[in-house]
Amino acid sequence: MLNDAKEDYFHFLQIERGLSDNTLISYKRDLDDYMHYVEKVSGKSEWNSVARNDIIGYLYMLKDNGKSTATISRHVSSIRSFHQFLIREQLVMQDASLHIETPKKERSLPDVLSLEEVESLLAVHDQSLLGIRNKAMLELLYATGLRVSEMITLKVSDLHLSMGFVQCFGKGSKERIVPIGDVAIKAVEHYLQHARDQILKQKKETILFVNQHGRPLSRQGFWKILKKVTKDAGIEKTITPHTLRHSFATHLLENGADLRVVQELLGHVDISTTQIYTHVSKARLKDMYKAFHPRA
In three-state secondary structure terms, 268 is coil
Neighbours of 188 (CB within 10 A): 26
165 and 180 Cβ atoms separated by less than 8 Å: yes
Q: For the chain, what percent of residues have pLDDT higher than 70?
A: 91
So which residues are the catalytic ones? 147, 171, 242, 245, 268, 277
pLDDT at 286 over 70: no
The per-residue pLDDT for range 41-60, each reduced to its tens digit, is 988 888 888 999 999 999 99
Confidence of residue 26 (pLDDT cuts 50, 70, 90): confident
Confidence of residue 69 (pLDDT cuts 50, 70, 90): confident
pTM above 0.85, yes or no: no
Confidence of residue 61 (pLDDT cuts 50, 70, 90): very high
Overall fold of domain 2-88? DNA polymerase; domain 1 (1.10.150)
What are the Cα distances from residue 32, in Å, to 5, 82, 207? Answer: 12, 12, 47
Neighbours of 231 (CB within 10 A): 11
Confidence of residue 152 (pLDDT cuts 50, 70, 90): very high
Confidence of residue 8 (pLDDT cuts 50, 70, 90): confident
Neighbours of 81 (CB within 10 A): 16
For residue 186, the model assigns a pLDDT of: 96
What are the Cα distances from residue 95, in Å, to 17, 71, 80, 92? Answer: 21, 22, 9, 7
Pick the CATH number of 115-292 from 1.10.443.10, 3.40.50.150, 3.40.309.10, 3.40.50.170: 1.10.443.10
Query: Average pLDDT in the 97-112 region?
Result: 72
Domains 2-88 and 115-292 share a fold: no
Confidence of residue 259 (pLDDT cuts 50, 70, 90): confident
Calculate the average pLDDT of the chain.
86
Task: Kindly list the domain boundaries of the chain, sorted by start residue.
Answer: 2-88, 115-292
